[in-house]
Structure 1
Amino acid sequence: MLNRKIFSNMERDVIGEVMNISLGSSATSLSSILGKRVEITVPHINVTTAQEFSYKQLEPAIGVEINYIEGLKGVNVMIWKRSDAKIILEALLNKKIPDEEFEMDEISISAICEVMNQMMGSAATALSEFLGKHINISTPIAFEIDDNNEFKSKYFAEDDEIVVVSFDLSIEGEVQSQFINVMEVSLAKEIVSNFLRETEKSTSIEIQTEENDNIEKEDAVNKKIDTIIKQNNDYEEIIKRERMKTNQNKKEKEETFVNVRPVEYESFDDEEEVLSEEQLSNLELIMLVPLTISVEIGKTSKQIKDILEISPGTIIELDKQAGALVDIIVNGKLIAKGEVVVVNDNFGVRVV
C-alpha cells in the first residue's frame, strides 16, 4: 500500500462514478447476451504498486487487455476468474462443459473476446457521453494467466503505481463472484481531468446561456417598445394626412360629412386561448387512443436466398454497434432515442 496520497477523495469519487457508469452499461450488455439478469456493484478503488498488487482470490484467472485508441491513452486490463469465464461460455453455448474438458482454446478465447468486445463497447459509449468526447477501444485480447510475475512485467514495472478497481459480479442463478480492472495512474488521472474539464465547460455554458437568455429577453422587450412607438408614429401620420384631406374636401365642397373616430390600436397582450367544452371533450377522447411503442435495436437487408437459409442459431448482424442508442418509435415515427436496460427480468429502454 502506498504511503503518499496520489488521489484526493474527490478524485477517487470521480474514478468510482466513471467506472460505475461505464461498467453499469457493460452489465446491461452482458445481460442482453446471456438472457439473464446481471448486476455489477459500485466499485472499490485501491492505489498500490505493481509489486504489491495481488489477485489470488481470482486464481486461476484469465486476463482481458483493452487498449484505448481514441479519446484516452493507455491500457485497461480486466482480470476474471477462469471458472466465471466457463459459466459465461456455457450460457452462450447453452450446454454444460465438464471442468476437465474446458480449456482456453481458440474457440473459447474467441467467444470471450466477443463478449468482452460488446461489454466494453457499451462501456466506451457510456464513457464518451459522460466525458463529452469520443472514446474508442481496440478489440479486446483475452489470455490465460499462467505466470503471475510474467503477467505483471508485461504491463507494469515493479515500482509502477497502478489503480485497482474491484467489482462484485452477479449473474442470475449462476455466479456470485468478483473481477478486477487495472489501469495505470496516468490513465486514471486523464479520466479525472477530462471529467472535471467537461464539468467546468457545462457550468460555463449554463452561465453563458443564462446571460444570453437575459440579453435576448431585453432585446425582445426593446424591439416591442420600438414597434409600439413606430406604430404610434404611423397612426399619427395617418391621422394627420386624413385631416389634411378633410380640410381640402371642405374647401372643394361646402358640406362634406367626415366620419371621424378614435384610432383603435392593436393589442400587444397575448391572450390565452380557452378551449370550449366540446374541444375539451374531443381532447380527452384523443388522449385515450392507444399508440404502439416499439424499440428498434437495428436493422439490415438480406437477399431472399439468405433469408430462406435462416434457422435456429443463425446470427444476423445489424447496422448498429453494440452499446449504441436504440430508436424509440411510435406508430412508425421516430420520437426519441434510448439505451436498453433490464427492469425486473424484463427488457426496457431508458430515454436519453
Structure 2
Amino acid sequence: MTESLGTLSQDAAGRQEASRELLQRPIITAARDPELLSLIRKHATALKSTFASELGYTLIVESTFARLVKTPLEPTAPTRALRRPNGVPLGASSYALLALTGAALLAPGMGDQVLLSTLVAQVREDAAARGIALSENITDRRRLVAALQVLVEWGLLGETDGTVTAWGDNASNDALLSVARPLLPHLLTHPLGPDTELAHVLAVPTDDPRKRLRRRLVEDPISLRRDLSDSEQDVLAREKTDLTRQLDEYFGLTLEVRAEGVLAYDSDARLSDIEFPGSGSLKQATLLLVGELVERLPAAQARTELLAPWPLVDQILSELTAENERSWKQEYVDSVVALRTDVVALLHDFRMAESRENGLALHAHAARYRPTTGSPT
C-alpha cells in the first residue's frame, strides 16, 4: 500500500512538472529536452485531458516533440515578447524574418537538413517578393540571426555543423542545419491562407467562463476584478474552493483572492518568463521604487490602488540613482527618464501598476514586494 501511494504521489508530481514546463515552453523536442519529452509522453493522456478540460488548450504529443497549442490571450494580458539571448526583445523586423524563415522551411526542395546559406537565400528571395528590404550588411544579418536563434531555441532547427551565431559574425561561416520537419506544421496555432483575417487569428475564444477564468489565472500574474466578466466573477465566487485545489494540483499555483482582483502565484518563482524580484539595475530600481511609494503614499488614499504623481516617481528614482550610481547601469544613472520608462514597463508587465496621465497607479498587490528588514522582498 505504501509503495502504491508513493507511486501515485510521484505520478502526480510528474504530471505537475510536465504541465508547468509546457505552460512555460509550449514546444518541447527530443533533441533539446529528451528527459522532459519522455515525462510528457508518459503522462500524455492525463495532460491532454487536463489542458483541454481546464484551459481549452490542445496538447499534441509525438515521438519527437510535444506542442501545447494555446488560445489567444485576453487583451488585458501583458505582452510576452520573444527575446534575444541577451534579453533584448525582438523588433518588428525580426518577427517578419521569423515568419519568412518558417515559410522558407516549407518551400519545395527543403529537406530534413539544409545549409544555412541556402535557407538565407530563400528568405531573401521571399522577402524581395514581398517588398521587404533585406540586405547583406551586418545589421540585417543580425536581425536574421535573432529570428534563426528563436527557431534553434524552440528545437525546430538544430545546429549540426557550424552555428547561426558564427554566420552572423561572418557570412562566410556556413552551417548545416537539421530541421524538425514533423514539428514544422504545428508552429502556428491557426492555419494561414491568402484570405485569413488577422482578427480571426487573434480572437479570444468565447467558450465557457470556467475555462476563460482559469486561462487568465495561469497566463497572467493577476486578474483585476474590473477585467472579469460577470460570468467569470460568478465562477470565482461559486468555485473558489475547487479552483484553489485544481490550480495547486495541476500547475503548482497558489490562489489569492483580494478586493482588487485574483492572484495565482508560483511560490517557486519558476512559472514566469521574467524573474522578479531579481538581479540587475532595472529590477533593483523597480523593487526599491515600489517600497518607497508604499511607504510614502497615504494608505487610505484608495482601497485598491495608490496613485503616485509623476514628480514623486521621478524624485524617488533620482534619489535611488544617486544612492546606487556606482552599481547601476550608466544609462540609468545618466537619465532618470530612461530609468522611469523601463521601470514602468516592468511594473506593467507584472500587472503591478498602470500609467495614468497624472501619475503611476500602483495596484494594492504590489505591496507584497515591499522590501523589509532581513528580507530581499
TM-score range, shorter chain: under 0.3
Q: With structure 2 as the length reference, what TM-score do the two structures score?
A: 0.18
Larger radius of gyration: 1
